[in-house]
Amino acid sequence: MRFIIYGAMFVIALYAFIDCIQTPARSVRSLPKAIWILVIVLLPGFGGLAWLIFGRAQREGSGGFLAGRSTPTAPDDDADFLRQLGDQTWSQKMKRKRERPIDPTKDEPGAGPAAAAG
């Protein structure tokens, strides 16, 4: 029975140690990364559990009501939607410009009496 307890403590400590080393320093919570490594090494079972509960960075998409949802929650947060909206607006503007009748009385660059004379 003791072997199982010590084995579990060793596995937890080893996993926590490797996970702590691989975690970027800016993602570590509660304590600095170097302190977490010391806690895990000096208190193998408890330090590993403490790392997993208090120090480990929250994994993206973990927990929460909409855990599996990877899309933005609002349309104005979605870059693809905004890009598509901008493309549609531009397309409609160009279509209206093409369909507009040409009015020879308007002063447009390259049109009118000054252009005809020169």
**Closest Cα partner for 37 from 10, 56, 60, 17?**
17
3-state helix, strand, coil in the chain (%, to 5): 65, 0, 35
Q: Domain for residue 114, yes or no?
A: no
Q: What is the mean predicted confidence (pLDDT) over 25-51?
A: 86
Q: Look up residue 75 and give its two tokens.
A: 């349309």
Q: Domain for residue 19, yes or no?
A: yes
Q: Domain for residue 103, yes or no?
A: no
- The per-residue pLDDT for range 76-97, each reduced to its tens digit, is 677 777 888 888 888 888 888 8
Query: CA 43 to CA 58: how far, in whole Å?
Result: 22
pLDDT tops 60 at residue 66: no
Domain housing 42: 2-55
